[in-house]
Amino acid sequence: MTTTPPPQGTRKQPRRPRLVLDPRAFRLLLAAIVAVLLTVASVPVLNLTAHAPQRAVVAYLSALEDGDASRALGLLAAPSTRNTAALDDAVLANAWSLPSDPRVVDSRVEGDRATVTVGFTLGDSSHEETYSLVRAAPQWGLFDRWLIEVEKWPRLGLDVTGSSVVEINGVAAPADRGGVPLLFPAGYTVGFNAEYLHADPVRVDVLRPGEIAPVTLDPEPTEALASEVAAEAVAQLDACAEQTTLMPSGCPFGFETDHEILGDEVAWSIVEHPSITLTADGTQLTVAPAEAVVEVSGRSRDIVTAYESDFTERIIVRITGLVTVADGEVSVTLVNEGQSLGQSPPAS
């Protein structure tokens, strides 16, 4: 049996599938669309409030108060620096004072730039500073991001002698001649405690970008330095005593006589070494004047009577000196205070 195909004009068309939305899914989709529309519509309002430049300044000051250096750095438009030792949580944690009670005094926006005047408390003092801000790339492509502009880092202008490292809020940092970059506003203590010298911490406040906070540290000798200088003084005087001339070269003592020295040689001995005490005057370290007792002996001829005799003279000399410490090395220069020398009795 053969089947006759239906006429071409009467061929059935395929049914198109119908889109059937679950009522719950439809409500969720509608809610998502409404949320997106509301978010987009709210962007201008949020950029004027939650993402305004004054909120960035307050957030920055709050990060400092919390001791969060990383969060604070993320709110700065600052140049890169290799010396980051003081841009650290530990430095903020040991700060003697951090900003608190921030209050916005004024905020002005001009295009992609803004200025914000903010008041805050640092230690026992109230401060008011005006910071410049720049608009950064928007967050998620929608919300404004403002960063505090730092054209130049605030720095410690260090005047340090005797140490290549300082302690900033108890954290070691290189005593960079170009200064040490810091976060601001904050209160810092600066000092150092090296092997031979130490400097008591001094306090300094840093309030704004580009500020150079001068810090002069007056070094004081440590017990280790006093011991080192005393040992060096003994060594120098003992070396002087090995010379056989009336005026030992480079030494803080000598002997003057009108008599002729026979044999052209004398013998020196150190009877009593000086008691070494160090004093500091600014950045200069000195050996405080102290007495030493030396003895010289030899044989002489009276230039008038030609009488020959052995002699021994004991001399009390007052010794002082200069001390320098460079790259961990100690240098001592001893001198005779007033260059007073022992003398023999005048010829008879």
The pLDDT of 126-131, averaged and rounded, is 98
Region 223-231 average pLDDT: 95
Same structural domain for residues 183 and 110?
Answer: no
**Boundary-marking domain end, from 149, 173, 188:** 149
Q: Do residue 181 and residue 269 come from a single domain? A: no
Most confident segment among 80-84, 162-166, 241-245, 303-307: 241-245
Is there a domain that residue 12 lies in?
no
pLDDT-based confidence at residue 35 (cuts at 50, 70, 90): low
* The pLDDT of residue 141 is above 60: no
| Same domain, yes or no: 233 and 339 | yes
Examine residue 174 and state whether it is found in any structural domain, yes or no.
Answer: yes
One domain for residues 129 and 186:
no
Same domain, residue pair 231 and 185: no
Q: Of the residues 99, 129, 149, which one is the last residue of a structural domain?
A: 149
pLDDT tens digits along 156-215: 998 887 788 899 999 998 887 678 999 999 999 999 998 899 999 999 999 999 999 999
Average predicted confidence (pLDDT) for the chain: 85
Same domain, 53 and 128: yes
Q: pTM, whole model, 2 decimals?
A: 0.70
322 and 253 co-located in one domain: yes
Domain that holds residue 337: 223-343
The CATH number of residue 107's host domain is: 3.10.450.50
- 25 belongs to a structural domain: no
Average pLDDT of the segment spanning 32-52: 50
144 and 232 part of one domain: no
Instruction: Clarify whether residues 263 and 208 are in a common domain.
Output: no
Residue 16 lies in a domain: no
Domain membership of residue 117 (yes or no) is: yes
Same domain for 229 and 270? Answer: yes
Mean pLDDT computed over 28-40: 57
Please identify, among 219, 236, 253, the residue that sits at the C-terminal boundary of a domain.
219
| 103 plus 178 within the same structural domain | no
19 lies in some domain: no
**Each residue of 9-27: pLDDT tens digit?**
555 555 555 555 566 765 6
Structural domain contains residue 179: yes
3-state secondary structure the chain: CCCCCCCHHHCCCCCCCCCCCCHHHHHHHHHHHHHHHHHHHHHHHHHHCCCCHHHHHHHHHHHHHCCCHHHHHCCEECCCCCCCCCCCHHHHHCCCECCEEEEEEEEEEECCEEEEEEEEEECCEEEEEEEEEEEEEEECCCEEEEEEECCCCCEEEEECCCCCEEEECCEEEECCCCCEECCCCEEEEEEEECCCEEEEEEEEEECCCCCEEEEECCCEECHHHHHHHHHHHHHHHHHHHCCCCCCCCCCCCCEECCCEEHHHCCEEEEEECCCCCEEEECCEEEEEEEEEEEEEEEEEECCCCCCEEEEEEEEEEEEEEEEEEECCEEEEEEEEHHHCCEECCCCC
The structural domain count of the chain equals: 3
Query: 190 and 121, same structural domain?
Result: no
Specify if 21 maps to a domain: no
